[in-house]
Structure 1
Amino acid sequence: MLNLDYANLIKIVQPYKVVGREENSAFLSWFLVNLYRLDIIAVQNIVCDGRGDKGIDGIYVNENEECIDVFQSKTVQNSSKTLGDTQLKEFVGSLRQLETADGIDSIISTTGNTQLKNLLIDYRDIFISSKYIIRGMFVTNANKDSNAESFLQSTSATTNLEVWDRDLIAQMYINSEKSIPATSEIAFDVFGFDYIDYNVDNIARVVLAPLSAVDLVNMEGIHNQQLFDLNLRKDLGKTKVNKDITNSISNSSEHSNFILYHNGITIICDKLDTLEKDKIKIQGYSVVNGCQTVSSLYENRARVTQDLRILTRIIQVVQNQVDLISKITYNSNNQNGIKARDFRSNTPTQVRLQQEVAHNYPGYFYEIKRGDNPNQSIVIENTLAGQILLSFDLKRPWAVQNFNKIFDDSHQEIFARPEVTGGRIVVLFDLYKEIEKDLCKIEPPLFRSYQVTKFFLLYLLSEVMADNEVGKDFCRKPEKYYKTANHKANLLECIHVILGDLIIDLNGEFEEEGGENFDFKSTFKAPNLLRNLTNKVINSHKKLIARGRVESFSQLWEKLANQEQQKT
């Protein structure tokens, strides 16, 4: 259970502390990253806590929920202190000011908080539009008392207010940091060899030594890959690099030269001991660079000898230096053949999604790094998840072909949004797999074999779903429709029916455009041409719904729900 007592809280939020701002601001920033799911860059742009903030500590336009989330955070030092209704009433007063153009203009003209002023100027038109509602988000490390509960109940009909108190935060929190594995002590024999030992600014100790492969293959966690949890990727199998390493291991006459041929490895550890002569001991360790080398040595451990040594950098990091571990991992791999996806593999956003899928959907495995071992689970590769979110949420199926941007320029936009949960990814992945089953219905066959077709159909599906109330609700929170096995079966049946209808409309459009002669590739590279095709298909589908020829998602869902009730 997450401990939000003040003494522990200030340690947790320390990485988010900004000079000149109080713990409240750091606490809110931590919450926005770890519970609300924003990227730290976005958080820094929306937090405005400080003098003259008018009771408004942050503002975020939540397009998925079609609301403007206004945040206020409060920390208490006494763990027995509770949240009453006084602060909530004051916060509601601040929210009321944002409901009218005059109220917003008054804050803009009177506030001395430049960041709040600029946020209100930027969002002024959105605040006063009828499309978005204003939702208050009160964040605190205290628990609500009966007065707060009564106030929330009495104002629920007139005010959109959510309170994230101590218990709710602890309940919803999922750790997004990967820690060094708790491995037992191992000793490396360095008899007859010199090594370098030095401290770095009292935050890390580094030992550089030629370690024997015989000792290295005895490290814990190689066989199940846990030793490489902090690495950007895991064992990639029979790659050219691994084959070259294996060839060097196979030739025993080359073992003494192995240290000349290979770059070496980097190990991060909790404990490092060189007190015993000719021994280097470590405990609580992880290999952050050199996974392929160590894996190859382990696979060929029967052939290694004491002559085969690897230049190894062992780094003992002072506790709570999570950012430093990430930087060491990044820079240790920066000169290798690492892809943008690898560099994102240990970010809080990706780790949190993997943990959520593992915890809530045990039949699935969210793969965030190459070489992850999913056992017998259904694997959802995070590159595919990014393509799915690009198509369904962001409605840009033409962009799925640029893999690098998914984990580079577009990573924050795709993954770091409040609505992107492990549940969302699992449900949308299953919709994608349902699409794969129906590809055989598409005519002409050339189009069904085109890779972007699946993502285009997912995009069409999102447009159709958003055109009715139940579908809109699904798009906001699809995991609600996976609460039971019956819910899941009903959802996939609805999707199957809608896809069948859409494909008939799509085939008709292709036939009008010349069938096999239709320029698919040019259309899918030009957003305006793709939107034009989409509009034709969607308009045709709407007409059929209006005439009662086909059923909308709302109608299908309600029909299946009624059938389920009749059975019970």
Structure 2
Amino acid sequence: MQSDDLIYSNLMKIISPLLVKGKGESVTFLNWFLENIYRLDSVAADDAICDSQNDKGIDAIYVDNNNEEIHFFQCKVRQKANGTVGDVNPKTFVASVGQFDSKEKIDAILAGNANQGLKNLLSRLEISDLVGKGYRPVAVYVTNEKHDDDSISYEKVETRLIIYDRDRIAENFIDADQGVGVQGTFEFDLSYVDPLTMVIGSATDGAEVFVFPARALELVALGGIADTSLFTKNVRYSLGNTPVNKSIKKSIERKPDHKHFPLFHNGVILLCESATVADGKLKISNYSVVNGAQSITTFHGSKSKLTDDLRILVRVIALKDDELARKITEYSNNQNAIKPRDLRSGHTLMTRLQEEMSKFSDTYFFEIKRGEVAPKDRIVISNEESGRALLAIDLLEPWSCHQVYKIFDDKYAEIFGRKEVDAARVIHVIRLMRLIEKKIDGIEVKPLAHYALTRYFLASVLSRILRLSESSHAAMRNPSSLTGPEADAFYKKCEAIVGSLVIDLNYEVKAKGPTFDYKAELKSPKQVEELTDLLLKSYEKDVARGKAESFS
């Protein structure tokens, strides 16, 4: 990413997919920032944002438990390309964050007339208790403006402030097509080690490989770290506050662990055009890091804590064949972190469902491994998507649908290990989810409409309704009985019911007023049950009055 990519006209294109949440330009930019720079998932990013924009100057709050910090965000979008940060807005923002630097001040805000959205966020994150325990408030100012002398000077003296101007944001985001790496040379010290050396392939289309434990103090001297040109091939990682970075940072802080670092780190892969060993030095030219961006940038940010004992296994690959370099880059960056669903991909329940789906339907493909190639013209249904839908519709637990570990761990057997969970059932719950997605934009509060748990909540309410009538309950028990025109009529009626539920949900949200904190309530079994009961009562009244579809 280049700094100019964040100029207003370009920025609007980048954040356009998130504008549907209806949060305004500044908060939408902040949403993008939280997902791409702080590396939060979509639910966590939504949860961090204060829906009441700019109340007491706070747009979002994130708790960094690793560093015992509370990050308060304010985001500004400037339309003028030559706009600069200055020190006025950052000073005002730091003063705003000062309102949260003691438990007493926060308790006063909660008891006062502050906007309810901010109160909800403070309560949900238990900010008062955390500050009481010693967590440090930090003001994070995010903008598409550029630093100037005033803002740079103020940030240097104000330890509670971090400014992400457009240059810094661009530096902390890695593009896949940013360039060809660092043009120049670098020398590794090999006086303390004899590297493992291999020649793979022929002299014209092969590669020379050097493997050795490099000092972290040397790695932070590589060119291209600050402007990210060193990592142009490392398309997998964006820099930010990731769990990987936190783990590396902990290891750096524990100096007795430095000598053990190569034992629990996967290492760094570095491509270069040429490499020669002479006089205890490995000299490389025109180089790029393929794997290891997070490690090197974390080292770079913690240079003062590095010791000579902290070393990391480095694989230097010298080659001139562009096609081979492309393959190494592609394969290295495809070695993704293992997810819970990966651990179940070969389990009998998954393989059996996949095989059953292939025989049952010519329309759908049940994906159990990331990256599987589906047969042509098949609609892909992932096991993760299916698990969430089954959890909401069959087990009636929509409040857990954002916790993937439950789907493939705590709740795995309960979700998938049932006689009734077959190909027909998986297709059935997915069809119900798809028709809910068609109606979700009818929710008037757009952040609620695009909150990930909302659709699963509606799915659970629909499931409750379908259990009220014997005819619809029979279809729920045995979805394979739904065929042809009968199936079309069933799902059409379900879609109409969802439309009624959306209308009733809009009414209940208005009735609850500003105290309705959907981010907390949709994760609470008790609150979900209460809201479900309200919608069911409204639906039954509408059915009695002939205003809503019914299967009776």
The TM-score range, normalised by the shorter chain, is 0.3 to 0.5
**TM superposition score normalised by structure 2:** 0.41
